[in-house]
Amino acid sequence: MIMISENIRFYRKTNNMSQDELAEKLGVSRQSISFWENGQTQPTLENVIALAEIFNISSDALLSQSSASAGQSSASTGQSSTPAGADAEKARNGNLPDGHHGKKKVLWLIIAIAAVIIIGIVLFVVFYKLYYKEKITLEPEVKFMNYKILMVDDDRELLKMLNQYFTLKNYTVMIAENGIEAMEKISANPDIILLDVNMPGMDGIEVCRRIRDMVSCPIIFLTAKVEEQDRVMGLLSGGDDYVLKPFSLKELDARIIAHLKREERLHRKKEQRFYGELVIDYASKCVHIKGNALELTKLEYEIIEFLSMNPEMVFDKERIYEKIGGYDAEGDSRVVTELIRRIRKKMKMYSEHEYIATVWGRGYKWAK
């Protein structure tokens, strides 16, 4: 092990100083210098600092093992004690100099950064593909429907906005600015109707009453009226849903899709059910008693269909309205009560049997 004694001797000779000259500079005896260089004694901390100042080096260099070993290597091989010689010696001993260690650290840092970037790119690509795969899976249901919508409103700016939005959704849009125009365009057999309530001349409620027997498609009222009585009148006139102004285009689109999908499911039903004198044709949405067709509104028929397809099951008024009211419907017991009263009245014209029974305190059920 290289001791400080060898470093003192190395730096004294490097500076061409004799033991006497060094002793004089330190203010110690020559014998002390000799003892230090021979390793018999060790200089004090104050002497180490003084020696470092005389040799113009740091105290750490004086206490380290590198200087003397470099000097010994130079002396034994006849080479000068240069940085290159020291590096070669360290390489032979399996130890790289600080510069090499620094380069190695930088290399590993670059590799780590590159790995992080690659992992980030891979994750981005994976999530990007998953997102668009889901988007592609969901969009065809809306984008390629090609349904026909009749929009009736006296607000031209609103009609323009709705026309642009639903045309981009691949709907065929028909526009009417008043009730008279709406009645003229019913012959085009729209798949769904958006109908404003407050229009000059013939309002939306009256338009709905007049066209309800001519079309079976869903009718959604667009209105700023929020009173319960207004909603009740609209639904009893044959409407299927209510959307309050101002509304979100996405919500309106969702309500339209919900109604259209529901219509599709109903059209796919081809069975008939017989309950004694009563026959329900789910494909044509007709109800006959003793061969007589009942003149039912859309909501009246849907109540019969819902209850008859779940015989003997009891449903409260809110559940019934939620089922027939479509997307995000809020239960309105007054509407359900009135609709069932009308159904019973129409059935009683041809039969004394009560097909819709009241379960007091709970709701209604279909009685076979």
Domain check: are 158 and 251 in the same one? yes
pLDDT given at position 162 = 93
Among the three residues 139, 171, 196, which one is the final residue of a domain in this structure?
139
At 85, the pLDDT band (50, 70, 90 cuts) reads very low
Rg (CA), the chain: 48
CATH code where residue 160 lies: 3.40.50.2300
**Lowest-confidence pick of 27-41, 76-90, 199-213, 302-316:** 76-90
pLDDT given at position 118 = 92
- Residue-number span of the structural domain to which 43 is assigned: 4-95
Q: Report which of residues 83 and 227 the model is more confident about.
A: 227
At 274, the pLDDT band (50, 70, 90 cuts) reads confident
Structure tokens that stand for 211 in this block: 């066209």
Q: Report which of residues 92 and 169 the model is more confident about.
A: 169
Q: What is the pTM of this model?
A: 0.42
Question: What's the number of domains the chain is made of?
Answer: 4
pLDDT in tens, 11-55: 889 899 898 888 888 888 888 888 888 888 888 888 888 888 888
Residue 71 clears pLDDT 70, i.e. is over it = no
pLDDT in tens, 96-117: 445 555 667 778 889 989 889 9
Give the containing element (helix H, strand E) for 192.
strand 192-196
Domain check: are 243 and 256 in the same one? yes
Domain check: are 186 and 274 in the same one? no
Report the distance separating Cα 53 and Cα 12, nearest Å. 12
Residue 364 clears pLDDT 50, i.e. is over it = yes
Report the distance separating Cα 309 and Cα 110, nearest Å. 69
pLDDT given at position 335 = 87
Residue 77 clears pLDDT 70, i.e. is over it = no
Domain check: are 153 and 259 in the same one? yes
pLDDT given at position 100 = 53
Task: Give whole-number Cα distances, 74 to 68, 69, 94, 180, 214, in Å.
Answer: 10, 8, 19, 112, 112
Q: Report which of residues 330 and 319 the model is more confident about.
A: 319
CATH code where residue 38 lies: 1.10.260.40
Q: Are 204 and 212 in contact (CB under 8 A)?
A: no
Domain check: are 235 and 331 in the same one? no
Domain check: are 50 and 109 in the same one? no
Domain check: are 282 and 239 in the same one? no
Structure tokens that stand for 110 in this block: 């670059």
pLDDT given at position 132 = 52
pLDDT given at position 3 = 65
